[in-house]
């Protein structure tokens, strides 16, 4: 083993259970040192203190390049329907708030959604959901789908540019969250019990579209790691482990199998109470999961989880963002000691 590993070597050795020089440090916020064609940085990313931290992260942490939507090919916003059916209206600004209305033209009528962003906050709020009733869901399912396979070259070019500085991950939302995201979450939860056939049709439809595009990129050798996010919506207390098995494992498991067949790593991003689904993640073949939250945010005893997941699933996290914000140095040192050593 080299005396000093690169960021990429370190994380690959870690997730494949080979010797490595030190525990990889994974930053809670994406600090991307490579300019990306995803629009200008947010105001908070231009703050001098943020840039100071970003420089430290670049030296000491596992850097993570992320293609969240890959030019829309994996966007969770509209069930991956063709762009020609989506019409974004001109944005409106009211004080600190920016609003964007979007119309989706379907064979069964137009649907409308409105989102809001604030100038200094990296969060998008859904003010008006796209799907408000079962008829709206049927309208979304009626939109014809023609495969529009993403060009692998931008992914390959970024991997070349990134080199050994970190890991490039393709951000893919679990099919379940692609269905839930376009409607009020309480309505989605209600439908998982009262209108399960419709929910399963929505999830299966998105799954097929994700699978087709993901397979194309993997076959081209463009993807080294899949970031699969959103399955916390099917963990307790929202759903039982049995529901997680039926609505997540059934679909995510096949995406993970596809990725592993082509030599890609799989990173499951799943907040909340995941203690009862860690074995399901391992059964699917995932390589790593974050943020593995302790109580009260989650329900994971890290020492116990490490014993259960040893040599099967790498655990990332257990130190919360709020700890980094408000704990003092001695408290952080103790949290790190417990996470690594116990």
Instruction: Give every CB contact of residue 39 below 8 A, 6+ residues apart in sequence.
Output: none
Cis bond before residue 296 (omega within 30° of 0): yes
Q: How many CB atoms lie within 10 A of CB 341?
A: 7
Instruction: Give every CB contact of residue 114 below 8 A, 6+ residues apart in sequence.
Output: 99, 100, 101, 102, 126, 127, 128
Strands ordered across the beta sheet of 166-173: 63-67, 166-173, 225-229, 265-270, 288-291, 314-315
Cis bond before residue 204 (omega within 30° of 0): no
What is the rounded distance in angstroms from the CA atom of residue 128 to the CA atom of residue 99? Answer: 11
Q: What is the dihedral of CA 33, 38, 43, 46, to 10 degrees?
A: 20
CB-based contact 96:118 (threshold 8 Å): yes
Q: How many CB atoms lie within 10 A of CB 339?
A: 18
Cut 0.75: pTM above it: yes
3-class SS at 265? strand
What is the rounded distance in angstroms from the CA atom of residue 340 to the CA atom of residue 112? Answer: 48
**β partners of residue 277:** none
Instruction: Give every CB contact of residue 99 below 8 A, 6+ residues apart in sequence.
Output: 91, 92, 93, 114, 115, 116, 127
Helix (H) or strand (E) segment spanning residue 191: helix 185-194
What is the rounded distance in angstroms from the CA atom of residue 131 to the CA atom of residue 112? Answer: 8
CB-based contact 201:139 (threshold 8 Å): no
Helix (H) or strand (E) segment spanning residue 135: helix 134-141
pLDDT at position 37 is: 39
CB-based contact 22:40 (threshold 8 Å): no
How far is residue 318 from each of residues 150, 230, 301, measured CA to CA in Å?
Answer: 35, 18, 9
pLDDT at position 36 is: 44
pLDDT at position 39 is: 52
pLDDT at position 65 is: 66
pLDDT along the chain (342 residues), means of 10: 80 91 79 48 73 78 65 80 95 93 98 92 90 98 91 87 82 95 97 97 97 96 92 94 96 98 96 96 97 94 96 94 90 93 90
Q: What are the φ and ψ backbone dihedral angles of 174, each rounded to 5 degrees?
A: -55, 145
Give residue 70's Cα distance to chain centre: 13
């Amino acid at each position: 083993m080299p005396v000093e590993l690169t960021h990429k070597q370190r994380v690959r050795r870690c997730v494949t259970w080979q010797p490595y020089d030190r525990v990889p440090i994974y930053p809670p916020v994406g600090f991307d040192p490579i300019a990306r064609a995803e629009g200008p940085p947010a105001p908070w990313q231009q703050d001098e203190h943020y840039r100071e931290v970003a420089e430290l992260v670049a030296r000491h942490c596992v850097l993570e390049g992320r293609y969240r939507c890959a030019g829309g090919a994996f966007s969770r916003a509209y069930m991956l329907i063709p762009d020609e059916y989506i019409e974004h209206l001109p944005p409106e600004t009211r004080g600190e708030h920016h609003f964007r209305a979007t119309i989706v033209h379907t064979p069964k009528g137009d649907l409308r959604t409105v989102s809001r962003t604030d100038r200094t906050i990296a969060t998008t709020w859904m003010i008006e959901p796209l799907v408000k009733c079962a008829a709206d869901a049927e309208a979304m399912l009626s939109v014809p789908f023609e495969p529009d396979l993403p060009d692998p070259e931008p992914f390959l070019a970024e991997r070349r540019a990134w080199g050994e500085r970190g890991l490039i991950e393709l951000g893919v939302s679990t099919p379940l969250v692609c269905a839930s995201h376009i409607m009020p979450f309480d309505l989605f939860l209600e439908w998982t019990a009262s209108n399960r056939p419709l929910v399963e049709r929505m999830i299966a439809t998105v799954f097929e579209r994700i699978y087709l595009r993901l397979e194309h990129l993997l076959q081209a050798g463009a993807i080294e790691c899949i970031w699969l996010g959103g399955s916390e919506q099917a963990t307790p207390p929202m759903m039982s482990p049995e529901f997680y098995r039926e609505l997540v494992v059934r679909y995510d498991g096949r995406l993970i199998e596809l990725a592993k067949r082509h030599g890609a790593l799989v990173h499951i991003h799943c907040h909340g109470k995941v203690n009862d689904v860690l074995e399901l993640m391992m059964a699917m073949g995932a390589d790593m999961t974050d943020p593995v939250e302790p109580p009260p945010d989650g329900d994971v005893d890290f020492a116990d989880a490490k014993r259960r997941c040893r040599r099967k699933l790498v655990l990332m996290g257990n130190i919360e963002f709020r700890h980094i914000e408000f704990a003092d140095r001695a408290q952080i040192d103790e949290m790190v000691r417990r996470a690594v050593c116990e």
